[in-house]
Structure 1
Amino acid sequence: MAGTEPLPGYDPASVERWAPEPDKRPGRTAFQRDRARILHSAALRRLAGKTQVVTPGTVNQAWDASPRTRLTHSLECAQVGRELGAALGCDADLVEAACLSHDLGHPPFGHNGESALNEFAHDCGGFEGNAQSLRLLTRIEPKRFTSEGSVGLNLTRAALDAATKYPWPRGGHPTDPASRKFGVYEDDRPVFDWVRKEAPGTRACFEAQVMDWSDDVAYSVHDVEDGLHAGHIDPDCLHAEPERQEIFAVAVGRYVPAGTDPAELAAALDRLQDQQWWPHGYDGTAVAQARLKDATSQLIGRFCLAAEGATRAAWGPRPGGAGGGAGHGRLTRYAAELVVPHETRLECAVLKAVADRYVMQRAEQERVRADQRVVVAELAEALTARAPDGLDPQFRTLFEQAGDDRARKRVIVDQIASLTDTSARSLHDRLTRQGRH
């Protein structure tokens, strides 16, 4: 059957779907179908209304600089991942599908909303954006139904696996049981176990590792770019020792392991600042914007080429290279691990810390975050008291079909997670206003 044949480097199990289905358009590969389904999903479109780092409307109006949203970040992550994955022998459509879907489960207000929802959902399995992404792909986003209900987008096993950054349940982190990161709720274990059939323990597949690094590269570089555009980051401050020490303090424990020597981070920042293309003295002029865009490209290329070279050195030559026939050197699924040099990870981490220090830690941002937490908490409380009133038709039906309070609470969590920043505030205003009358 067209679209179900295994692709070079992938076995037949990789292209299986939870619910078997025919291909309506012969000639496409299974992974091309996966990518198309994600691109056409409502969940991907909703990411346009979810803030990445700089809130739209808060940028320095001296120049036009539209900040990134979760959607534009996902598109940029997908471009990075597609090229890096293809260079290493992965199916490019498969890696792009994983990158496009990696943030679908993010609730309104990003990680701040995620934390507030996790508090609300503590007694029904918690909340985690990555676990929510799997739930959305396999259950919530309406595309395919069986006699047992929705199977979401019904993606291939390999696509779902590639989108799973943390392949373990809550409390199942392989080295840190207290970690809040996990990739599946207990409710979704059947499809997760099917996805991870024959997977080696809690190891992420190679495509998921490529997606994860592409995400790190895209947001570390672009968050700094947006911070410069918005006027929140002054590149000249990165030479001042007190400022540098604050950046390194942010990085240690958050973006690099606790105990990392700040001198290593200083050396990483120095390496970047020593590059001819580094955006010294950025002032927002057209010439400065062009230089900044070049720096963005240079950084992405630097980080990806370092990972590609180190991975190939560890696992073998490029596809079709000397000594191999067709398909030789393909690194897919569980045949390899992505290798990122230590120095490259430090350079990426120091960029994350710069954006964190100057953009996320601004005093006005903490006031915004406090207000966002109130919105999510009060919205959850209002929906709990009034549901099914306030729920979209899709979630109203699921709420009415739920068998117990735990299941009903999960539906409320799903509803809130699906909202954009604006729609969350709008629903909050409507329900709390009704409650006051």
Structure 2
Amino acid sequence: MTSRYDEAACARWVDEPPKRAERTPFERDRARLVHSAALRRLAAKTQVVGPQSDDFVRNRLTHTLEVAQVARDLAKTLGCDPDVVETAALAHDIGHPPFGHNGERVLAELSAACGGFEGNAQTLRILTRLEAKSVDAAGRSVGLNLTRATLDASTKYPWPRTGATDPRGVHADGTASAVRKFGVYDDDLPVFSWMRAGAEPGRRCLEAQVMDLSDDVAYSVHDLEDAVVAGRIDLSWLRDTGRRREVWGTVRDWYLPDASDAELDEALDALSATGAWPTAPYDGSRSAQAALKNLTSDLIGRFCTSVQHATHEKYGTGPLVRYDADLVVPRATGLEIGCLKGIAAHYVMRADDRVSVMVTQREVVADLVTALRDGPPDLFEPAFRADLAEAGSDAARLRVVVDQVASLTDASALAWHARLR
């Protein structure tokens, strides 16, 4: 599989001879990510509901494993190296701070003086600096030191903050979104520039597109499944025209601003015509559980097959890697995925009880930033304490504060908050 990738794609920022010759460079990448602390922390980070709320619902780690499975399967059908795409999928959420996008929102607001915060830019920072595995000749951490192809595949937004477009849509509490989407902080530009050598500015490699779509597919289906099991959604509600119109408003606010009611009605009709779509309320029985699992499998297969066929129709059936092609997502498929995401967003993310919890979460993150920024160095974990000692400006010190807070899980953020108060 690696024969389709040239020497530059297999290169590392710091050269490291393999310890076991039988492994490909991309298999080494995957192993490094699987054994990382950053991946393990996802088990205690929020997905749709808090990770301790129920044994069944997903946390960020279980979501990540599901994204990785979808991504690996889709990569194989297109001819991408499955290890490259799977590693990118495993990495895609490791930059999330405690409380997910809610925590990201606070850190973005409080870190303007050091270049802002964005979960995807934080992912690159973790992979290339913060997650200890390899060092350069001067003894500085270079993170997991992954190959160029894998790092590029992990980069959802291949541009700095200055190249980001204005945010659109709204947060769950109805306020306008303020988080810009970008993939690298200014002080990580050297490794980013190395990673992107030869790439067209702003263009994502095919592997990154597969990773991103797999994320959309997985959480559109699985967040809906969790919400049905938790009793927050009964899909029969959508037979009511008024309720549907409210949901379509959320779809436009959050995901598809140009989607019409008629298009979304058509998308829902197509989804509900699948044989596995439920016709009775979920009652928790084994037969209901099995039916729901069949629905998730059918929907994932539906979306991936549609994209695979559309991409092959445009580019042919030969192996497609790196910048050979762009993923083709038919309009109808994008509408169906957006429809499912919007249902979960409307009935779960925008629910009054969750919005009130989110206010408290934002207060916790803000308090932690203030306490660490104004407190003594011994409040930091040792690795971040060393970073703080090397920081040569207020902006650099603030970046260390943000790195420390972003590294915390939901539970550890609450524990630190209680201790520091």
Query: What TM-score does the superposition give when structure 2 sets the normalisation length?
Result: 0.95
| Structure 1 equivalent of residue 401 of structure 2 | 412
Q: Which residue of 1 aligns with 2:149?
A: 158
Q: 1:179 offset after TM fit, Å?
A: 7.0
1:315-367 CA distances to partner (integer Å, 9 max, x unpaired)? 002xxxxxxxxxxx110000000001100000000000000011111111011
The reply on whether 1:44 has 2:39 as its aligned counterpart is yes
Runs ≥4 in structure 1, deviation > 6 angstroms?
174-179
Greater displacement, 258-267 / 308-317? 258-267
Taking the TM superposition and a 5 Å limit, the aligned residue runs for 1:320-339 are 329-339=318-328
**Contact 2:166/2:180 (8 A) holds in 1:** no
Flag the structure with higher helix content. Answer: 2
Letter of the structure 2 residue corresponding to residue 165 of structure 1: K
Q: 1:180 to 1:295 in 2, by over 3 A?
A: same
Is residue 380 from structure 1 mapped to residue 369 from structure 2 by the alignment? Answer: yes
Q: Alpha carbons of 1:174 and 1:116: their partners in 2 closer, same or farther (altered >3 Å)?
A: closer
Aligned to 1:191: 191
Structure 2: distance between partners of 1:411 and 1:280: 52
How big is the shift at 1:171? 2.9
Could you say what secondary structure the match of 1:28 adopts? coil
Give 1:176 shift.
7.6
Q: Which amino acid is 1:46 matched to?
A: R
1:77 aligns with 2:67: yes
TM-superposed CA distance for 1:427, in Å, is: 0.6
- Match of 1:123, SS state, is helix
> Which residue does 2:172 correspond to in 1?
none
Preserved contact between residue 118 and residue 179 of structure 2 (Cα < 8 Å): no
Counterpart code for 1:195:
M
Q: Which runs of 5+ in 2 are unaligned?
A: 169-177
The root-mean-square deviation of aligned C-alpha atoms, in Å, is 1.4
In structure 2, distance between residues paired with 1:93 and 1:350: 30
- With over 3 angstroms needed to count, the CA separation of the structure-2 counterparts of 1:176 and 1:356, relative to structure 1, is closer
Residues 165 and 180, structure 2, Cα contact 8 Å, conserved in 1: no
Q: What is aligned with 1:145?
A: 135
CA distance in 1, matches of 2:152, 2:247: 35
Residue in 1 that maps onto 2:265: 266
Match of 2:13 in 1: 18
Per the alignment, residue 296 of structure 1 pairs with: 296
Whether the 8 Å contact between 2:45 and 2:51 is mirrored in structure 1 is no
Q: For residues 24-173 of structure 1, what are the structure 2 equivalents within 5 Å?
A: 24-59=19-54, 66-148=56-138, 149-173=140-164
**Residue among 349, 354, 361 paired with 1:360:** 349
Q: Work out the CA distance in 2 between the residues paired with 1:233 and 1:346.
A: 20
Deviations 1:112-147 (A, max 9, x none): 000001111011000000000000000000000123
Distance 1:122 1:199 in 2: 28
Is the Cα contact below 8 Å between 1:390 and 1:427 reproduced in 2? no
SS at match of 2:192: helix
Q: Which residue of 2 aligns with 1:8?
A: 3
Taking only the aligned residue pairs, the percentage that are identical comes to 55
What's the offset of the Cα at 1:57? 4.5
Note the alpha carbon deviations across 1:80-125, whole angstroms, 9 max, x for none: 0000001100001110000000111000000000000111101100
Q: Secondary structure at the match of 1:351?
A: helix
Amino acid at match of 2:411: T
Mapped pair 1:239 → 2:242: no
